[in-house]
Amino acid sequence: MAERFRPDSSRYSSWLRAATLVRRQIGVLAELLGTDLNQARTRAELWIALQYTDELVARPDAADPGAVQLPHER
């Protein structure tokens, strides 16, 4: 029964590789943005900005900045 709870090394290594890749990508993103993503406020500001970006990408008329409707205006 104890064997059932031992981590499977192949699964663990794939999770470790994925985590390493994500950390590396976050590091590159932080460098490109010139910011420290270890700070909660910075991550929150980025998340909020991405919400508006998603809104712009989803709307075909978003090329006109006057056509963008903010979430609180709906």
Residue 65 pLDDT > 60: no
| pLDDT of the residue at 45 | 92
Residues near 33 by beta carbon (within 8 Å), at least 6 away in sequence: 46
Name which of 44, 67, 68 is nearest 55 in CA terms.
68
* pLDDT tens per residue across span 1-60: 556 656 666 677 888 899 999 999 999 999 999 999 999 999 999 998 888 886 777 765
Tell me, what's the pLDDT at 51?
84
What are the Cα distances from residue 12, in Å, to 3, 26, 31, 46?
A: 15, 21, 28, 30
